[in-house]
Amino acid sequence: MGKQETNVVDVRTPRVSIAIPQGEKGDNGQAGAAKEKPLKMRTQGVNVFYGDNQALSEIDLDIRENEVTALIGPSGCGKSTYLRCLNRMNDTIEGCQVEGTVTLDGENIYDRTVDVVHLRARIGMVFQKPNPFPKSIYDNVAYGPRIHGLVSSQDALNEIVMTSLTKAGLLDEVRNRLHEPGTGLSGGQQQRLCIARAIAVNPEVILMDEPCSALDPIATARIEELIDELRKNYTIIIVTHNMQQAARVSQRTAFFHLGVLVEFGDTERVFTSPRDERTQGYITGRFG
């Protein structure tokens, strides 16, 4: 832990406590420290502003390797904003300003020496709305490996495309139409194509922004299975509006409200005995 902190350049008052969200009294999911997985990402004192509007304030969150972390909260509370901080997708939004530190394996990703291209190869993203390129299914998946120069031969590329499609549970449906446009797939298939495209780069972390919001229950179930499967090799952070989904797929849950992190802990604990009444209210459907 200490080793990681040396790399962190905090712009504001250094924080001693580790990942204790505001409004929290006790521990935050550190119960059962014995089976604690190693830390993958950590955000400390993150503030995000859109112009003069503060969208997030003082977010401290730890993300552990090979776990699924669910971000829940009412619409507009800053979940997507937080997610975009993790791979610096906020950089290109005009007027958006990020303060604080976000570390990946102990290295501050907002450090000037960090190359976003390399960073995004390590942290993949699946968007809320499926957004395949208007190219063939094959080219969609092959695009990442190609631009990052991950392969030297056509065979190796084929291999990556096939395994990615298999992992995303899409191969059987598209085996015979790999060279047809990815935009011709159904919504659920497109979303799995986007997942295949993200994992083809073999990232360490995958960010998913409401990946199932446009899908029917069967396609949703497939993607949930997939997420559970992917957890073995990747660290996953998922935004969802679906409480059951968060409960089903995640190991940790973070509840955001009005730009602050209200509660963060083991999913089971958060859903069975929430400590904050806002969390309680939200998960029982009283507001949000």
Binding stretches for other proteins (CB under 8 A): 87, 89, 92, 94, 116-121, 124-125, 127, 129, 131-134, 143-144, 147-148, 181, 183, 194, 197-198, 201
- Binding string, residues 40-79; x marks residues near ligand ATP by CB under 6 A: ----------x--x-x-----------------x-xxxxx
Q: Which of 77, 193, 204 is nearest to 137 (CA)?
A: 193
The nearer residue to other proteins, 239 or 261, going by C-beta atoms, is 239
Name which of 274, 208, 268 is nearest 241 in CA terms. Answer: 208
Which of the choices Mg ion, other proteins, ligand ATP, none does residue 153 contact, using the CB cut-off of 5 to 8 A by kind? none
- Nearer to ligand ATP among residue 80 and residue 202 (C-beta): 80
Q: How far is the CB of 276 from ligand ATP (least distance, A)?
A: 17
87 binds, among ligand ATP, Mg ion, other proteins, none (CB under 5 to 8 A by kind): other proteins
In the window 76-115, what residues touch ligand ATP (CB under 6 A)?
76-81, 93
Nearest residue (CB) to ligand ATP, 43 versus 136: 43
Do the Cβ atoms of 137 and 185 come closer than 8 Å?
A: yes
Name the strand (E) or helix (H) holding 197. Answer: helix 187-199
Query: b/e per residue, 202-236, with b = 16+ CB within 10 A?
Result: bbbbbbbbbbbeebeeebbebbbebbeebbeebbb
Q: By the 8 A CB rule, do 20 and 61 touch? A: no
Give yes or no for residue 14 binding ligand ATP (CB under 6 A).
no
Q: How far apart are CA 229 and CA 167, in angstroms?
A: 8
Q: Which residues pair with 238 in a beta bridge?
A: 70, 208
Minimal distance, residue 100 CB to ligand ATP, in Å: 16
**Whole-angstrom distance, CA of residue 138 vs CA of residue 87:** 25
- Least Å distance between CB 116 and ligand ATP? 18
What does the binding site for ligand ATP look like in residue numbers (CB under 6 A)? 50, 53, 55, 73, 75-81, 93
